[in-house]
Structure 1
Amino acid sequence: MNVQNDGRPGHFVGDAGAGDSGVRAAEAALTTATALFLDVDGTLLDIAERPSAVSLPNLLLNVLQRVDRKLGGAVALVSGRPIDDLDRIFSPLRLRASGVHGAEIRLDPADEPHPSPSAQALPEALTDLLAESLRAFPGVLIEQKTYSLAVHYRATPQAGPQIRGILERLVAGEPESGIEIFDAHCAFELRTPAFDKGWAVATFLEHEPFSGRVPIFVGDDTTDEAGFAAVAAHGGRAYSVGRWRPGAQGVFADPTAVRAWLTAFANRRAD
């Protein structure tokens, strides 16, 4: 496992000259009294060229199932993907989940997702307007998620600044919509700021089996920082992935390190 020592920019534990205190702290933090919140792309799963191209590593479903069982169901996926998409990826496993950056939530695996009280569906015409505005950029993918639109430019990363400029002009032309632009990994997310992952975490923590537990949030992106703040407000800990982000107490090197951490907990004898 490769976890940064102290939550500040610097080397990762396991590199030359680094101790293993970060690894021990991360392992010790995850106990049967934890409420665990996990981002998906870039955290549990390696980022793919296109959202539809992600692959599920061998044994991850088994590990997640065992972790969920050890935590009494207090595990939730907190993702930018819609919950229906999460179910497709992790089938046949269904976990508690929040999708589209907090726009929808499922408090019980047997339930259907329902929207955040503040979630607003974006105008359908916006997708067509974006497609027309961005047709000069081959490889750009527009992902429609009802409450948000994601513009993926991983195929043409050098065009990121130009694409953002186009999006800024579009948003400025629709001030009454309340839409803002949020940065992600080679992507821009268009949505209102009325909901976020922090709302989702706080909502889970108001309900069983999460209430009364010490929360941990693991995420890799700017949009995860609201989740970091939410667990901090409840006396918990946050870990970022790949690089340090504000609010993180430690940093996993990559999704492989996150999966190793979860596997170690799943294999650990009773606390």
Structure 2
Amino acid sequence: MLETAHDDSAVLGSLLENPGCAIFLDFDGTLVDLAPTPDGVCLEKGVAEALALLAARHQGALAIISGRPVAQIDAMLAPLVLPVAGVHGVERRGADGQLHVAATPDVSPVLAQAQALAALHPGLLVERKRGAVALHYRLAPELEQLCVQQMTAAVQACPGVLLLHGKMVLEAKPAATNKGGAIAAFMTEAPFAGRRPVFAGDDTTDEAGFAFVEQAGGQGVKVGSGASAASLRLASPAALRAVLLAASSTPHKE
């Protein structure tokens, strides 16, 4: 497992300039810096334009792989529209524009528990998604143990639901879907099929994606600290944005 703090910006830049790669990018903590609340993130100037240029250079083989719903990613990137996997693969819009929605188990008991907990503690934020519930405790980190206990108990009573431990967030989601599966699905379709996958992410929720691309002969890129199955490392979202901006402005390789 990769743990050392080093920067593979040059290696990633070379990969992104290769016309044979397929680019997959997480959003929060990867393309954008984390914020106290999900609504507080900001996409820096020039990033959407860089993504558009890179997508064009790779014949459209660039997708966002996020825990956010597809509609939120579209709103953040507007007017740019890209292939997107949302809610860890529950929603997935291919390059052809078709939206695929996975079957989801009932998460209403988890939602009720999370809302009850948030009603008692104003620092907690509940986010309802298609087939998933996220409980954010970034504004109340001292409540982490309580949140873990309550959410774990709620998820154990819901068959087919898995609890993800992210950065100051706990997310109950369908066990049958993850970011690795979403990337795998993209890789069976044009224009991704036959290319070498490269996936950048920052959190434990991205590890399934790293595992898939590494096994498929591609490379995962861990943004930030922490052990990871990814073979490459970048220090921060700012480092990734710098690589994307540089790669998008480099003369195209045929």
Whether these two folds match at TM > 0.5 is yes
CA contact (8 A) 2:28 2:34 kept: yes
1:19 aligns with none
Cα distance in 1, alignment partners of residues 78 and 96 from structure 2 = 12
Match of 2:220, SS state, is strand
Give the structure 2 partner of residue 88 of structure 1. Answer: 75
Match of 1:220 in 2: 202
* Partner of residue 270, structure 1: 252
Equivalent position to 2:3, from 6, 9, 24? 9
Residue aligned with 1:130, SS: helix
Matches within 5 A, 1:47-58: 47-58=34-45
Give, as a single letter, the amino acid of the residue that structure 1 aligns with 2:68: R
The one-character-per-residue Cα deviations of 1:176-203 (angstroms, maximum 9, x if unpaired) are x322211001000012211101111110
Alpha-carbon distance, 1:122 to partner: 3.2
Matched, 1:257 2:239: yes
* Aligned residue runs from structure 1 range 39-54, under 5 A: 39-54=26-41
1:178 aligns with 2:160: yes
Equivalence for 2:14? 28
| Bigger RCO (CA 8 Å, 6+ sep) | 2
Counterpart-to-counterpart distance in 1, 2:229 and 2:192: 21
Q: TM-score, normalised by structure 2?
A: 0.93
- TM value normalised by structure 1: 0.88
Shift of the 109–206 alpha-carbon distance from structure 1 to 2, 3 Å rule, reads closer
Which ranges of 4 or more aligned residues in structure 1 deviate by more than 3 Å?
121-126
Residue aligning to 1:73: 60
Aligned to 1:140: 124
Amino acid at match of 1:80: G
Which amino acid in structure 2 is aligned with residue 243 of structure 1?
Answer: S
Give the structure 1 partner of residue 134 of structure 2: 150
Where structure 1 has 5 or more consecutive residues not aligned to the other structure, the ranges are: 1-6, 14-21
- Name which of 167, 170, 188 aligns with 1:206: 188
SS in 2 for 1:135: helix
The percent of aligned pairs where both chains have the same amino acid is 33
Amino acid corresponding to residue 241 of structure 1 in structure 2: V
Report whether the alignment pairs 1:64 with 2:18. Answer: no
Which of residues 100, 108, 116 is equivalent to 1:114?
Answer: 100
- Give the Å deviation of 1:126: 4.0
1:246 CA drift (Å): 2.3
Query: Which deviates the most, 240-249 or 201-210?
Result: 240-249
Aligned residue-pair number = 252
Q: Distance in 1 between matches of 2:106 and 2:127?
A: 12
Residue 37 of structure 1 contacts residue 77 of structure 1 at CA under 8 Å; is this kept in 2?
yes
The question of whether the paired residues in 1 share the 8 Å contact of 2:107 and 2:132 is answered with no
- Deviation readout 1:87-116 (Å, 9 max, x if unpaired): 1111111000100001111112633x2213
Tell me how far apart the structure 1 counterparts of residues 20 and 107 of structure 2 sit (CA, whole Å).
Answer: 42
**Partner SS state of residue 169, structure 1:** helix
* Alpha-carbon spacing, 1:126–1:8, altered in 2? closer, same or farther (3 Å): closer
Contact 1:95 1:109 in 2 (8 A): no
- Tell me the CA shift for residue 133 of structure 1: 3.3
How far did residue 157 of structure 1 move? 0.8
Aligned with 1:72: secondary structure? coil
Structure 2 stretches lacking a partner, 5+ long = none
Distance 1:198 1:11, change over 3 A: closer
> What is the rounded CA distance, in whole Å, between the counterparts of 2:218 and 2:201 in structure 1?
14
Q: Is the 8 A contact 1:38 1:76 kept in 2?
A: yes
Letter of the 1:92 partner, please give it.
P
